[in-house]
Amino acid sequence: MPDLRIALPSEGALATAANELLRDAGMRVNRSSSRTYTARIPSVDGVEVLFQRASDITSLIDRGVAHIGIVGLDQFEEEHDEDGDGIILISDLKFGGSDLVFAVPDDWSRVHAIEDLARKAKEIEKGGRILRIATKYPRLVGRYLAQHGVNYEPVSAKGGLEARPEIGDADLIADITATGTTFRQNRLRRLDDPPVLRSSAVLIGNLKSLDRDDAGLEPLRQILERLESRVAGQGYQWVIANIEGESAEAVASRVNSDPRYSGLQGPTIGQVFSKSGGSWFSVQVVVPKTDLILAIDYMRQLGASGITVNEPAYVFETPCAAYAELRRKLGRPLPRNGSVNA
């Protein structure tokens, strides 16, 4: 058996996005063809990739067939063995965002929230039957409805759910959606309440099979370092601007006057040998992507010119939070300097 097995979805949007993230994080998956179910990651020694249906990955991790895997949080929460103590959520990969919600027929004009659905369920019971909900998530949906006192009958379904109310197989559905477009196309609308679950792609692992020494954990450490820093990098922009000033210290002081736009720890300042004379300095800061325009406006207020923007490929934290948390769960926290190679 290889040092580390990672299970990846074999098809669909999650599979495409997972492979893109690994590639962008410097871990291209070397798969000989779409018909093969194993592959390698050449940049990380000792790692074997298993391609499986997304719906099977949580079970494979539960049983220790693979050590780690990428799944949707919805699948993990619905399918993992709650009586076991081996499977854990390691890291949120922040792609594939979607919501688990209830969608009711458009003509249910008086049903907009879970309280309305509870009243509707009681009305249906008075007619001699139980509210029927088609879903692939009976565990999550059942818990949520129990908390709100809604009695219902689950309708199991493997394929698309949207047609079930129209053909009379269910009264409503509970399903994952990103945009709600398919709901609207089938004359359904989601309830106004917050979702039952906000889902995204996550990395999960089997804690028992990962209980090994530092050398045995090294492939996983490399994967977590690359993934975490790549995901973090996608949330930032690198702003470079030229600012005139008396000295590097004086320019830094001006930039630091608003900590929101002065970088993760502060600006990097370097002298510019200006072609037109004057005392100019190159200022580099990393800011959240959501603050980009505000950061540009701030630089302009400081008299900046020649502003350029790039996206950092990686933003490494010290230590890698996911790896540090994993070691804590294993009972072997990182040394104080955050490195296992010190």
CA distance 253 to 256: 5
CA distance 47 to 42: 8
Contact 87, 206 (CB under 8 A): yes
| Pure H helices in the chain | 13-24, 54-62, 73-79, 114-126, 138-147, 164-167, 181-185, 214-233, 248-255, 292-301, 321-329
Among 281, 274, 278, which residue's Cα sits nearest to residue 247? 281
What is the rounded CA–CA span in Å between residue 162 and residue 169?
A: 11
8-state DSSP, 108: -
pLDDT of residue 85: 65
3.40.190.10, 3.40.50.970, 1.20.1740.10, 3.40.50.300: CATH of 4-95+200-233? 3.40.190.10
In this prediction, residue 204 carries a pLDDT of 98
Fold adopted by 98-198: D-Maltodextrin-Binding Protein; domain 2 (3.40.190)
pLDDT for the residue numbered 217: 94
pLDDT given at position 338: 57
CA separation, residue 155 to residues 152, 174, 211 (Å): 10, 10, 40
**pLDDT confidence of residue 7:** 97
Strand partners, 104: 189
- Measure CA 46 to chain center: 25
Give the dihedral sign, CA 72/74/78/82: positive
pLDDT at 96: 93
Q: Which residues of the chain have pLDDT under 70?
A: 1-2, 84-85, 337-342
**In DSSP terms, which residues pair with 237 in a beta bridge?**
287
Contact 324, 334 (CB under 8 A): yes
CB atoms within 10 A of CB 282: 17
3-state secondary structure of 290: helix
Bond into 319 cis (ω within 30): yes
| CATH annotation of 236-310 | 3.30.70.120
- Angle of CA points 277, 283, 287, to nearest 5°: 155
DSSP 259: G
Q: Where in the chain is the domain with CATH 3.40.190.10?
A: 4-95+200-233, 98-198
Contact 219, 44 (CB under 8 A): yes
The CATH 3.30.70.120 portion of the chain extends over 236-310
What is the structure's pLDDT at 340?
61
